[in-house]
Amino acid sequence: MFFLEKDQKVYEIRGVKVGGQPGVNPTVLIGSVFYEGHKVVIDGKTGEFDRKKTETLMNDAEGLSDKYGNPFMLDVIGPSGIAFEEYISFVSEMTDAPFLIDGVTEEARIAAVNYVSEVGLHERVIFNSINQNTNPSEIDVLKRSKVKSAIIFTYNLRNPTIEGRLSLIKGGTEKSLLYVSEESGIEKILIDTCVLDPPDLGPATRAILLVKSEFGYPAGCGSGNAIDLWGKLKELDKTTCKMCIGSGLAFPASLGADFLLFGPIEHAKYVFPVCAMFNSYVAYAIKQYGLKPAKSHPLYRIF
Amino acid sequence: MSIKPVKEVCNMEEEDIITKLNQSIINFDVDGVREAAKEAIKIGVPYKAVTEGMIKGMEIVGKKYEENEYFLTELILAGEAMQAGLEILGPWLKAEKVKSAGRVVIGTVKGDIHLLGKNIVVTFLKSAGFDIYDLGVDVPAEEFVRKAKETNADIIGMSALISTSFTEMEKVIKKLIEADLREQVKVIVGGATVTEKLARQIGADAYAPDAITGVEICIEWMKEKKSRK
């Protein structure tokens, strides 16, 4: 049912395994902090934020990770180099979890890459992201840095279909993003199949399965986008709304997503239990093909 | 004795060409658009091909978007098909001296590099007959004003996804006032975190919650401007 013929790459990033045959390693759940409009942020320019509240949010998410068995990572969003230093310094002290550096501008991303290389945090970091708009200047900085893990974001400006996303990985008239990543010195490549709007979670999920089938790289998407942009969600009653958030955020896990950027870290409480449940169904199915889910898998915890 | 020009062989009738353009836009058929556009040139109806064929097609695409039949992916694909047609028909339109619907200077403000929403608005404005001066992303306030002055723009459109960019939008408006251009240039703002309230606070003339509404507002402004003349 879920077994893929193509050999699957599995990367270990600071003790967290990502990738592999669907059902073996649980989906890595990645929550965003310091995002646009995040209540913990006091001053986005200077990087001033409410440390106590941020710590509580991170602890809550890590608690859910321990409970359900899905590894947790943070997507640290920074508008500037100064803010990034503040955020990264705090996050790296408060948690052992790997984290993504998700800069709003090229300048911010470059500053973050240089900072983590300088302070020796590069092994814990995943650069988010290499994409069609990545400038040569950014590639140069990555090449010279110690950062070795990155996400390829398959947003195709002119053809955002499933086929268009895959074409960015394959290459053609333009350099493939796999080539660009390798050229940047990236050794651990994760592929984000790009969610444009609420219904696009379907095509993005289909693309995850195709990426894994064809290329074998760990693949996932930003399911949080589908929920954050879903305007009519607010029209639903509270219970229905929460059900939709949880199942929408975790949906790609039912088809083997290796990682999910589930949006605001506050959504951890919705995504963890549902994702653990979807992962467990897949894991139990693949056992019948002779594959063995990882020891930490939600399958052994939730039923 | 005069020599009559040899009429090029045309495989399609005018009505078929218009229908094909219309349908090809709706179905994102880039090859179909190119083929019909070339036929339109052969029989000398490039303007009609744009207005009756492609623009009408884009209007249907916009309607389908409003009715949740199409989403962002379809908008982008239709925009690409439109662009393919304009690349062929564009030079012929200039020859016909088609009157512009208006001049719009557009860009994502300084500090912000998001371009998806802005690009969709650009596509729809082009399809509605506007002359577009797309400044791209991370555009300084001075550049918006300089371009507006240079092109005698009717409208400035600004996009931003991050709230720190709002001050940049405000800066553009202030610089327009300083340059004594505010009276003649309307300002419209949009982007995921922009709101009606914020647009009012920074002194913009309008806020567009989506691309279609943005274009409708621009069309309305140009109608008002022309009726005043």
Distances (CA, A) of A26 to A254, A281, A282, B11, B216: 11, 11, 10, 59, 48
Stated pTM of the model: 0.85
Q: Which domain holds residue B133?
A: 103-228
pLDDT value of residue A21: 96
- Close Cβ partners of B99 (under 8 Å, ≥ 6 residues apart): none
Whole-number Å distance between alpha carbons of A276 and A295: 14
Residue B84 sits in the same domain as residue B42: yes
Q: What are phi and psi of A191, to 5 degrees?
A: -110, 120
Mean pLDDT of the B147-152 span: 95
Q: Any chain B CB within 8 A of the CB of A197?
A: yes
pLDDT value of residue B98: 60
pLDDT at residue B2 is higher than 50: no
Mean pLDDT of the B36-40 span: 96
Catalytic residue flag (residue B112): yes
Q: Any chain B CB within 8 A of the CB of A31?
A: no
Residue B66 sits in the same domain as residue B107: no
Nearest Cα of chain B lies from the Cα of A152 at a distance, in angstroms, of: 17
pLDDT value of residue B6: 44
Residue A284 lies in a domain: yes
pLDDT tens digits, B183-203: 999 999 988 778 888 888 889
Write down the ipTM of this complex. Answer: 0.90
pLDDT value of residue B110: 84
Report the interhelical angle of A51-68 vs A81-94 (nearest 10°).
50
Q: Which domain holds residue A17?
A: 10-44+52-290
Given a contact cutoff of 8 angstroms between Cβ atoms, the answer to whether B33 and B54 are in contact is: yes
Residue B85 sits in the same domain as residue B29: yes
Mean pLDDT of the B205-214 span: 87
Could you tell me which residue, A36 or B7, shows the higher pLDDT?
A: A36
**B71 contacts A160? CB cut-off 8 A:** no
Structure tokens at A236: 């639903």
DSSP state, B52? I
Given a contact cutoff of 8 angstroms between Cβ atoms, the answer to whether B125 and B216 are in contact is: no
Domain count along chain B: 2
pLDDT at residue B80 is higher than 50: yes
Closest CA to A250 of A219, A273, A229: A273
Q: Which of B28, B74, B76 to mutate to test the interface with A (most CBs of A within 10 A)?
A: B76
Residue B56 lies in a domain: yes
Residue B224 sits in the same domain as residue B120: yes
CATH code for the domain in which residue A93 is found: 3.20.20.20
Residue A257 lies in a domain: yes
pLDDT tens digits, B102-126: 999 999 988 777 766 787 788 778 8
CATH code for the domain in which residue B72 is found: 1.10.1240.10
Residue B6 lies in a domain: no
Q: 3-class DSSP state for residue A9?
A: coil
**A159 contacts B138? CB cut-off 8 A:** no
Among A105, A106, A196, whose Cβ lies nearest the Cβ of B72? A196
Residue B4 lies in a domain: no
Residue A1 lies in a domain: no
Task: Quickly state the pLDDT bin for B4 (edges 50, 70, 90).
Answer: very low
pLDDT at residue B163 is higher than 70: no
Q: Any chain A CB within 8 A of the CB of B29?
A: no
Could you tell me which residue, A257 or B92, shows the higher pLDDT?
A: A257
Q: Which of A39, A131, A196 to mutate to test the interface with B (most CBs of B within 10 A)?
A: A196
Residue A187 lies in a domain: yes
pLDDT value of residue A2: 77
Low-confidence ranges of chain A (pLDDT < 70): 1, 173
Q: Any chain A CB within 8 A of the CB of B113?
A: yes
Q: Which residues of B76-92 are buried (b: 16+ CB within 10 A; e: fewer)?
A: bbbbbbbbbbbebbeeb
Mean pLDDT of the B70-89 span: 89
Could you tell me which residue, B218 or B138, shows the higher pLDDT?
A: B218
Could you tell me which residue, B4 or B125, shows the higher pLDDT?
A: B125
**Mean pLDDT for chain A?**
95
pLDDT value of residue A84: 96
pLDDT at residue B7 is higher than 70: no
What CA dihedral angle connects B122, B152, B87 and B24, to 10 degrees?
40
Does residue A129 have a cis bond before it (omega within 30 degrees)?
yes
